[in-house]
Amino acid sequence: MSSAISYHSNKIQGPDPTISLRQALVQFEGILTDDQKQQYQASTTKPDAASVIAFVAEIDSNKNSTARRCVAPRLHTFLQATQQFSTIVDTFVSSNPQIAALVWGGIKTAILTASNIASYFDKVTSMIMAIGKSCPTYQQFGHLYPGCVGLKRSLCDYYAVIIQICIKIIEISKRTPVTQMLSSILNPFEAEFKRFLDQLDEAVKDIQLQLSFASKKANADAKGLLERESRGNSAFRRHTLKFHKESRSEYAKAEQSRIDSVKRQAAELKSRIRDSLSSIDYDKPWKQASRQRVPSTAEWLRKEPLFLHWKYRWDTDILWCSGTMGVGKTVLMSNVVAHLHASRKPGDIISYYFCSPDYEVSLSARNIFGSLARQLLDAEIEVAENDSLQRLYEGSRDLNTAETIEFLLAHLKDDKKYYIILDGLDECDGSEIQQVARGIAKLCGRAKGFKLLCTGRPGLERQLFRIIQPNCRIAMTERKVESDIDQYIATTLGRCLDEEQLKLGDPKLIMKISNALHDGSNGMFLWTRLLIEELCAQGSDNDILAVLNHLPRGLSEIFDRKLHRVRSGTTAKDAIATLQFCGVVKRSLTVMEYQEALSLSPGQTSLDSQKFPNDMNKVMRNCCGLVSVDEEDSTVHYVHHSVKQHLFSIKHWLSNEFDMERLNRHLGLLCMTYLDFTTFRRQVAKVTEGSNTPITPIQLGITPIYRSRNDTSRMAMKLLSHRQHLQHLSARELERKSRKLFKDLEPSRLDMDLLNRDFQFLGYARSCWIHHVTDLDPELDYQMWKFFSRCVDGDVILAHRPWESTDQTDDERNDIPRAIQWLLAHGHFTLFLYYARNQSDILTEKAKLEILKNSRIQDRGRFTELIIQQIDNSLEIRKYALFNAAREGDIASVDALFRAGVIVNALVDNRTALQGAAERALQAAAGGGHLAVVERLLEAKAKVNSITSMEGRTAIQAAAGGGHLAVVERLLMADAKVNTPINREGSTALQAAAEGGHLEVVERLLEAKANVNAAASGLTGRAALQAAAEGGHVEVVEILLEAKADVNAASPGGYTALEAAAAGGHLEVVERLLEEEAIVNAASIGLTGRRALQAAAVGGYLEVVERLLEAKADVNTPISGDRYTVLQLAAMGGYTEVVERLKQAGAV
C-alpha cells in the first residue's frame, strides 16, 4: 500500500516553501532498492536546457525497451517544464541548494525503471504526456516568483505530487508479472493513479490563483517603491516627526521590495530578449518528426566517416545531406539532434530548426536565424545581469535578418563549438532561401567552431550554396536507408497487427506484404507508410493481394488512389472538407475545432450541434492516411507536405475542389459567420443594458481582451486585500472563498469551462478571420465585403482587430496610424481598400509615403494604384507612385500621374539594408521589361543615359540584365550608350546580358559595338565571357568568342572563364574554352587561389575533372589560402569517383 501524502496535507506552512517537496523526496529515496539508489545518485545532477533531449534520446536508444515507437516526444514537454522549474527552485531557500538535482534525478529514475516493462511504460509515457499539457512553465512564473512565497510554495507542492507519482511508478514496477497482470484487471492503471492526477489538477488551480496574486503583488510593490522614494525626499523628512523611528523598518521593506523588483525585471528582460529574437516554437516540429521514427532507425548517419569528420573537427564545416522527397530526411535530422545532445561535450551548444509548412511564419529567413540565435545564446542570456543584460536587450530589439546574424556573431564565444541543424528549407520561397544562403555564408565565415548540417532535396543545393560551398556531402541513397526501410516495415506491420488495424485470414500473407513493400519502396518511407495504410483498409486477403499485384508507381498515383477512397467513404463530405481546410488554415486546428468548423455554412445564425459530425475519429480515418492527428495536442496535419502540393498544385480528378484562393476566402466567411452568431450578440446586449457580467460575450473567459479592465482590477484588488486570510487555504477552499468574494463579479469556473467547451472554434475564428480575407473584390464578393466592413467597424464585436491591441511593440511608430502599419506589415489589401473607401483621412502624407516605400513586392502595384486614386497627393507622393507604377508596368497609373503633374526624372531612393540603389522611373520600367511604360517615359523626356548612384545602373543595363530585347531595341533607338562605364559592383549591359544567358540581347549589343572585353568591377564582378561561362550558357560563350573575347582574362577577384565553367560543372563550356587555348593551369589570384581542376573537384564534377586532366591539369598544385589539397577537398565532399580519378592521376 502506498504511503502517499494527500495534496491538502502537503500544504505545510512556514518560511520554507520547499518543505512538502523535500518530504516527498525523502520518501522517494526510502522506497528504492540498492540498484535503484545507485541509479538515482547517478542521475542526481542539476539539468540544463540540453539535458531534456539528452535524456529522452537515452530512453529511445535503450536496448532493453521493446516499444514499437519512440517515446521522446511524449516525455519532452513535461521534462522541459521540470528543467525550467529546476533553474529557480534552488533559490527558494538557501539551506538546501540540491533540490533541483534531486527532483530531476527522481523523475529520471522513475522513468528509466518503468522503461523496463514495455506495456506498462506505454501507459506511463501517455500519462506523462497528458501531465505535460498543464505543467506550469517558466514563461508563466519566471518573472513573478521573486518575493512571492505563496507561488513558490504552490510550485513545490505541485512537484511534491509529481514525486508521489514517481513513487507509485516505482512501486508498481516492483510487482511480479503475475501480480501486475492481476492488478491490471482488478485495479486498472487509470484507477491506480487517479487520486494523484486529481491532486495535480488541484495544484494547477492553486498555481493559477497564486500567479494572479503574484502579478498584482508585483504591481503593488512597484507602486509602493515609488511612494517610499517620494516620502524619502528632504521636503517630506522636514514635515515628518516620526521619520527617523519609521525609516529603518521602511528601509528594510523597501530594500527587499527593490531586490524582488530587480529580479522580476531581470526575468522579464530575459523573456523579452528571447521573444525579440524569435517566438517560434522550434521544439514542436522536432517532436513531430521524432514521433514518426521507429526504434533502431535513422542511426546510420552517425556512423558515416564524413559525419564523424564534420562532428569532431574543430574547424568550421558545412555538411550537406541530400535526398529525394519521402526518403526520411526530416526524421533522420530529428535523430541527429537527439544524438548530438546525448553525446555533447562541455562547450558544445546545439541548435536546430525544422521548417514547418503548416506554420507559414516559420518559413521566413528572419525567424530561422532568430530562432537559431535564441538557442545558441540562451545560456548567455540566462546568466546576464545588470549592464550586460540591458545591452543584450537593447541590441536584440527590432532586428531584420541581416542584423540578427550580426547580433549572433557578436556574441559567439571562441571557446565554444556551435552546431546548427537545418531541415526543410525546400519549403521556403526563393527570396527567403537567398537570405538564408547569405546568412549561412556570413556565419560560416568564422574560422573555428561552427558546424552546420543542412538537408534538402538535390535541387536546393544550387540555391543554398551559391556563395559558400559545403565541405562535405552525403547523399541519402536507397542503399544507405535499406536496413532502415526493412526495420520500419517490420515494426510498423507489427504495430498494425497488434492494434488490429491490419487483419489477415492467412498469416503467411504477411511475408508477401513485407517483401512487396521492400521491393516497391525504393527507399521511400512516405510511400511505404501510405501503402501500409492502404493495405490496412482492405477487407479481405484477396483485396490485399490485388493491391500488392498493382503497386502504385509513385506518390502521385498513391495520392490519387486515396482520393478515390475518400470520395467513396461514408463521411466523404466531411473528409474532403478536412483535406481542404487543412491546406488553408493559418494554424493547425484541433480535432474538436474541426468538428465545429465542418458544421458551419454561410448565413448560419447560431451554432447547431446537430450538424456536428458524430464520430470525428471516423472522419479522420476516412481521410485515408492523408492527414495525421498529433497525439499530444490533437492538432490535424497533412501526413507530409507533398500531400498539400499534390492537392493544390498538381492536376488531378478533384482539382476543382482544391482552389486555394476560393477555399481561403470561404473559410474567412465561415469565421465571420461564426463570430456574428446571435448567441454572442445577445450577450453583448445584456452587458450594454447594465449586466454586471465582466466577461463579454457569453462569459467566454478565454482571452483577457473582453474582460473589463476596471472589473479585472477590482477582482484582483479584492483578492489582494484578503491575501492574509487566503494564502494558507487549499486550492479548492481558495476557489470557493474567491467565488464568494466575486459573487456579483464573475461566473463560476464550471460555467466558463462549459462555455469554452461549447465554442471550440471561437478562438481560431476570432484571431484568424482577418488573415483569410486579404484580397476581396467588393464588386465580386459584395456580401463578404459587407461582412468584412462590419468586422472592421466593430459591429461584430468578437472580431479581433490586431491593430487595436493595447500592447505597443518596440518597432511601432507614433507618426503613422497603427492600422496602416499593420496592413503594410501583413500586405492586407482588403483592409487598405476599406480605409481608402471609408476612412481616407487615415491616409496621411507620411502613411502614403510609408506604403509606397516599404510595401512588399507582391503588394506594391495595387497599393500604388489605390494611392494614385486619392486626391491631393503631393509631388513627393507622385514621385514614388510613378516609380512603383513604372516598376510594375502599370501604364494606366503612369498616364494618370502625368495628368496630375509628375517629374519624370525624379530620383527615388530604392535602397534597402540588403540591396538596391537610387533609381529613376525609366530604369525601373526597363528592368521590368515594360515596353509601353518605357515608351511613355521616353515621350515625357526621361533621361535615357542617366546613372543614379555608385550602385546604380542605366536603363539599358537594367533591360539587358532582364533579357528584355524589345526594350533594349527601343533604348538603342533613343541613343542609349552601350558602353557606359560601370560603377561599384555593377555590370555593363553586355556583362549583364551574358550573365543571364540572354543570347539575342548579347547579339544586339555586340551589333551596337558593345566592348566584349570591358573589365569587370569589384571583387565579385565578371567580364562578359566569365559571366556566361559561370552560368553554363554555351551559345553565349560561342558568340562572345567569335567577337574576340579574351579567353584567359581574369576578373578583379582572379576568376578566369575556365575556372568559372569548371566550378559550375559545365562540360560543354569547358570543352569550348579549351579549344580556344584557355590556360588550364592558370592560377586564380583571389583569396582561394583555385585553378580550374580544383574548382571542378570541389564540386564533384567527374566529367569536367576527366577533361581537365586530359588537358594536362596539374593535379598536385597547392591551393593558396587553403589548408587542404585538391584530393582532400574532393574526399571531404564525398566524391569517391573523383577521388579515385585524382589518385589515378597521381594526386597525393
Average pLDDT over residues 376-389: 93
- Dist. CA 927–CA 184, nearest whole Å: 75
What torsion, rounded to 10 degrees, do the Cα atoms 584, 586, 591, 593 define?
-110
Query: Containing H/E element for 349?
Result: strand 348-354
Question: What angle is formed at CA 299 by the lines to CA 294 and CA 305, rounded to 5 degrees?
Answer: 170
**pLDDT surpasses 90 at 960:** yes
Return the closest-CA partner of residue 1102 out of 1056, 1050, 1057, 1144. 1144
Residue 252: C-alpha distances to residues 152, 227, 259 (Å): 22, 15, 11
**Secondary structure of 822-837 in the HEC alphabet?**
HHHHHCCHHHHHHHHH
Return the closest-CA partner of residue 559 out of 470, 624, 478. 624
- Count CB neighbours of 1110 within 10 A: 10
Average pLDDT over residues 345-367: 93
**Residue scoring higher pLDDT (412 or 183):** 412
User: Residue 273 is which amino acid?
Assistant: I
- Answer yes or no: are the C-beta atoms of 861 and 894 closer than 8 Å: no
Mark whether 504 and 647 lie in a shared domain. no
Report for 209-218, 648-657, 855-864, 983-992: range of highest mean pLDDT: 648-657
Q: What is the mean pLDDT of the chain?
A: 85
**pLDDT surpasses 80 at 675:** yes
Beta-bridge partner residues of 421: 352, 453
Please indicate, yes or no, if residue 977 is contained in any of the structural domains: no
Average pLDDT over residues 368-393: 94
Q: b/e per residue, 906-939, with b = 16+ CB within 10 A?
A: ebbebeeeeeebbbbbbbbbbbbbbbebbebbbe
- Dist. CA 228–CA 261, nearest whole Å: 14
Please indicate, yes or no, if residue 368 is contained in any of the structural domains: yes
- Count CB neighbours of 966 within 10 A: 11
| Residue 638, helix vs strand vs coil | strand
Please indicate, yes or no, if residue 866 is contained in any of the structural domains: no
What lies within 8 Å, CB to CB, of 912 at 6+ separation is: none
- Dist. CA 599–CA 608, nearest whole Å: 7
Mark whether 643 and 698 lie in a shared domain. no
- Dist. CA 1115–CA 1118, nearest whole Å: 9
pLDDT tens digits for range 73-91:
999 999 999 999 998 887 7
C-alpha cell at 433: 532561401
Mark whether 50 and 160 lie in a shared domain. yes
- Answer yes or no: are the C-beta atoms of 1073 and 1061 closer than 8 Å: yes
The domain that contains 1122 carries what CATH number?
1.25.40.20
Mark whether 110 and 161 lie in a shared domain. yes
Beta strands in 882-960 (DSSP E): 908-909, 918-919
Average pLDDT over residues 889-910: 86
Question: Pick from 500, 526, 551: which residue ends a domain?
Answer: 551
Return the closest-CA partner of residue 1000 out of 969, 1025, 1021, 1030. 969
The domain that contains 450 carries what CATH number?
3.40.50.300
Q: What is the pLDDT of residue 749?
A: 42
Residue 1097: C-alpha distances to residues 382, 777, 1072, 1081 (Å): 45, 56, 19, 14
- Dist. CA 775–CA 8, nearest whole Å: 57
**pLDDT surpasses 80 at 705:** no
- Dist. CA 15–CA 8, nearest whole Å: 18
C-alpha cell at 256: 527587499
Average pLDDT over residues 1014-1024: 76
Q: What is the pLDDT of residue 91?
A: 76
Backbone angles phi, psi at 1080, to 5 degrees: -70, -30
C-alpha count within 13 angstroms, C-beta hemisphere, residue 866: 24
Please indicate, yes or no, if residue 178 is contained in any of the structural domains: yes
> For residue 683, what pLDDT band results from cuts at 50, 70 and 90?
low
Q: Map grid coordinates 491506480 to a residue.
A: 192
pLDDT tens digits for range 733-781:
555 555 555 544 433 444 434 444 578 999 999 999 999 999 999 999 8
C-alpha cell at 535: 493495405
**Secondary structure of 86-144 in the HEC alphabet?**
HHHHCCCCCCCCCHHHHHHHHHHHHHHHHCCCHHHHHHHHHHHHHHHHHCCCHHHHCCC
Sequence length of the chain is 1148
Structural domain boundaries enclosing 341: 278-476
Q: Map grid coordinates 558593345 to a residue.
A: 1010
Please indicate, yes or no, if residue 223 is contained in any of the structural domains: no
**pLDDT surpasses 80 at 219:** no
pLDDT tens digits for range 1085-1142:
554 557 899 889 988 899 999 999 999 998 887 665 555 678 887 887 778 888 899 9
Mark whether 547 and 461 lie in a shared domain. no
Question: Pick from 476, 494, 515: which residue ends a domain?
Answer: 476
Mark whether 589 and 530 lie in a shared domain. no
Average pLDDT over residues 785-803: 93
Q: What is the pLDDT of residue 694?
A: 39
- Answer yes or no: are the C-beta atoms of 420 and 375 closer than 8 Å: no
Question: Pick from 443, 476, 509: which residue ends a domain?
Answer: 476
Q: b/e per residue, 599-636, with b = 16+ CB within 10 A?
A: bbeeeeeebeeeeebeebeebbbbbbbbbbbbebebbb
> For residue 267, what pLDDT band results from cuts at 50, 70 and 90?
confident
Return the closest-CA partner of residue 1139 out of 1115, 1113, 1117, 1108. 1115
**pLDDT surpasses 90 at 729:** no
Our count of domains for the chain comes to 6
Of 11-25, 351-365, 891-905, the least confident: 11-25
**pLDDT surpasses 80 at 220:** no
Average pLDDT over residues 913-929: 78
Q: Map grid coordinates 538546501 to a residue.
A: 96
Mark whether 463 and 504 lie in a shared domain. no
Of 91-95, 461-465, 633-637, the least confident: 91-95
Mark whether 16 and 104 lie in a shared domain. yes
Please indicate, yes or no, if residue 587 is contained in any of the structural domains: yes
- Answer yes or no: are the C-beta atoms of 677 and 602 closer than 8 Å: no
Please indicate, yes or no, if residue 1066 is contained in any of the structural domains: yes
Mark whether 110 and 21 lie in a shared domain. yes
Mark whether 633 and 547 lie in a shared domain. no
Return the closest-CA partner of residue 1038 out of 1072, 1084, 1088, 1075. 1072
- Dist. CA 183–CA 177, nearest whole Å: 10
- Dist. CA 172–CA 1, nearest whole Å: 10
Average pLDDT over residues 100-112: 94
Mark whether 207 and 314 lie in a shared domain. no
Average pLDDT over residues 214-227: 73
Q: What is the pLDDT of residue 704?
A: 33
Mark whether 200 and 294 lie in a shared domain. no
Q: What is the pLDDT of residue 248?
A: 62
Put simply, whether the predicted model's pTM sits higher than 0.85 gets the answer: no
| Residue 850, helix vs strand vs coil | helix
Helices assigned H by DSSP within 343-459 = 365-376, 378-383, 386-395, 401-411, 430-443
Return the closest-CA partner of residue 607 out of 747, 753, 751, 761. 761
> For residue 145, what pLDDT band results from cuts at 50, 70 and 90?
confident
Question: What angle is formed at CA 1088 by the lines to CA 1125 and CA 1034, rounded to 5 degrees?
Answer: 100
Please indicate, yes or no, if residue 625 is contained in any of the structural domains: yes
